Structure 1
């Protein structure tokens, strides 16, 4: 595992952020959160100063209100912002997590919460989101709802989300950061950040520690 601990001040001092419009056809647009160029290519960054879990109350795939802080309190939680119409990065990331999750003992699989927050809520209805996630892992939690709330929640983690727009080919794309934030079951704070290049092996090696709230 490639990792290093960096002070939050250094993370927040990053001057340039790039985003990925999944399936936009824009070559070379790598997604990044608030990390320096020095850490952007690492699979994970362990944060000196963890992020608070976002105050997000959205709608789950069953059409019920879901309070992220309340529903995941005291549980190891992975949060990712993306959208179901993405043909590349989003499904790859979620499938990587699903494969890695299966390597855990059943009790730890049941304890882990993997939350997918839609960055394209206008198209990602609860039913659409539920059908998409069911094909990846039925235990994954899908949330959709007010875009402004989603955008604010992502921003609180240093992840940028932009409104869905048409690309140069007239295709609707959601431009967003593509990081996975891991929250400790001990503190309910985001303390490990995974970049877009994190692999199944990276997650498989780290999840046993993540579920315990330990540093990978």
Structure 2
């Protein structure tokens, strides 16, 4: 099976989330045969806000997924139970992604490194693999360690991953294998921030969010500043 190399951003739709304005959301798909680029947008709910946060403040607060997968130690990890009452940044992606995934996780990692140890301990960064066939616990741990050694990696049943992502408006597609053996994997590339007060997502970050924006908001989240 061929490796996943080039990128083709594609259109995402999440009509069920339409309560407000439209935001451009990114996705990454990879194919060994390459491809051009397109742009896309998804409808999500947001609200005008005087919030101190630089991320998009959502008017619809999404529940944290009820998802049990394997962590990078190969042990079952109940996302909802293990992160209850914690601030969580959640991202769906895969380690072979050539750009959006490593860029997003790398930027969050750099932002986390600018916080104090006490602030970092109050935040959970969770990466859920959309390519579990290739993202074994060991592969996932090695990849995440280059971004943040405390980052939580989850991998396992893709059907569970898709079911967890869908209510959040995040598209995850089954990998497609072409006749020539090339593989294409597509997933939404937004990051959601869940608050400890109600375990719901209140903030959204799109692909291309800067390190400074993440640093700014992660510091506020660690301090418990209201959204």
For the pair 1:179 / 2:209, whether they are aligned, the reply is no
SS at match of 1:90: helix
Whether the 8 Å contact between 1:186 and 1:213 is mirrored in structure 2 is no
Q: Paired residue for 1:115?
A: 126
Q: Paired residue for 2:226?
A: 214
Q: Against the structure 1 CA distance between its residues 158 and 53, is the aligned structure 2 distance closer, same or farther, given a 3 Å change threshold?
A: same
Offset at 1:19? Answer: 3.7
Q: Tell me, in whole angstroms, the C-alpha distance in 2 between the residues paired with 1:101 and 1:169.
A: 41
Q: Paired residue for 2:206?
A: 195
Q: Tell me, in whole angstroms, the C-alpha distance in 2 between the residues paired with 1:18 and 1:183.
A: 20
Q: Paired residue for 1:146?
A: 157
Q: Tell me, in whole angstroms, the C-alpha distance in 1 between the residues paired with 2:213 and 2:104.
A: 12
SS at match of 2:108: helix
Q: Tell me, in whole angstroms, the C-alpha distance in 1 between the residues paired with 2:26 and 2:217.
A: 26
Is the deviation greater in 104-113 or in 58-67? 104-113
Q: Tell me, in whole angstroms, the C-alpha distance in 2 between the residues paired with 1:145 and 1:137.
A: 21
Whether the 8 Å contact between 1:58 and 1:146 is mirrored in structure 2 is yes
Q: Paired residue for 1:124?
A: 135
Offset at 1:186? Answer: 1.3
Q: Against the structure 1 CA distance between its residues 149 and 99, is the aligned structure 2 distance closer, same or farther, given a 3 Å change threshold?
A: same
If the length of structure 2 is used for normalisation, what is the TM-score?
Answer: 0.80
Whether the 8 Å contact between 1:181 and 1:192 is mirrored in structure 2 is yes
SS at match of 1:128: helix
Offset at 1:75? Answer: 1.0
Offset at 1:23? Answer: 6.3
Offset at 1:207? Answer: 0.9
Structure 1 vs Structure 2 CA RMSD: 2.8
Q: Paired residue for 2:29?
A: 21
Is the deviation greater in 203-212 or in 179-188? 203-212
Q: 1:58 aligns with which of 45, 51, 69?
A: 69
Whether the 8 Å contact between 2:70 and 2:76 is mirrored in structure 1 is yes
> Unpaired segments of 5 or more residues in structure 1?
1-7
Q: Tell me, in whole angstroms, the C-alpha distance in 1 between the residues paired with 2:138 and 2:28.
A: 25
Offset at 1:134? Answer: 1.2
Show the 5 A alignment for 1:20-99: 20-22=28-30, 25-30=34-39, 32-35=41-44, 44-99=55-110
Q: Which has the larger radius of gyration?
A: 2
Q: Tell me, in whole angstroms, the C-alpha distance in 1 between the residues paired with 2:44 and 2:184.
A: 24
Q: Paired residue for 2:172?
A: 161
Number of equivalenced pairs: 203
